[in-house]
């Protein structure tokens, strides 16, 4: 009887020849991309490179950017770095939003438990004001 095992898309399981074939490129091209830091291989106990399904998807995107859009490798590296930064910022934003919702929920529960608790709005006023500062004149200047 065969057992199916779920493997994460980030698990480094493909050897270089398989990853290159899946991405539609020559293994030497994949090695070059690895040296340039466009993809990052894991290492097997014997020292061989291993790639994940996520790496293969990234390699396909690199090929597309290079061949169809004419982006050079430095541009591709910058695009990848910026996309990774956007992903990280989106994760941080989601975590911040979840924390805010949790804080609002707790404030609502606290207000329900303590009727004297007045929940203040943190929404800034839409009014604008201009304050002009004028230094006081010294008595000698009068």
CA distance 14 to 48: 10
pLDDT at residue 139 in the model: 67
pLDDT at residue 17 in the model: 94
Give residue-wise pLDDT tens across range 73-92.
Answer: 999 999 999 999 999 999 99
Query: Are 59 and 39 a contacting pair, CB within 8 Å?
Result: yes
Give residue-wise pLDDT tens across range 92-135.
Answer: 999 999 999 999 999 888 888 876 665 554 555 667 777 777 77
pLDDT classification of 43: cutoffs 50, 70, 90 = confident
Whether pTM exceeds 0.95 = no
pLDDT at residue 141 in the model: 62
Select from 62, 29, 27 the least CA-distant residue to 48.
Answer: 27
Mean pLDDT in the chain? 85
pLDDT at residue 1 in the model: 67
Tell me which H or E stretch contains 141: none
């Amino acid at each position: 009887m065969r057992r199916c095992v779920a493997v994460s898309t980030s698990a480094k399981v493909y050897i270089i020849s398989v990853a290159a074939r899946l991405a539609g490129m020559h293994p030497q091209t994949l090695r070059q991309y690895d040296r340039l830091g466009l993809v990052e291989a894991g290492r097997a106990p014997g020292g061989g490179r291993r790639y994940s399904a996520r790496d293969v998807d990234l390699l396909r995107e690199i090929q597309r950017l290079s061949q169809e859009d004419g982006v050079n490798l430095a541009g591709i590296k910058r695009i990848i770095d910026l996309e990774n930064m956007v992903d990280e910022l989106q994760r941080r934003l989601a975590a911040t939003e979840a924390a805010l919702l949790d804080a609002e929920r707790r404030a609502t529960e606290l207000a329900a438990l303590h009727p004297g608790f007045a929940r203040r709005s943190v929404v800034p006023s839409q009014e604008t004001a201009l304050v002009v500062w004028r230094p006081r004149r010294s008595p000698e200047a009068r």
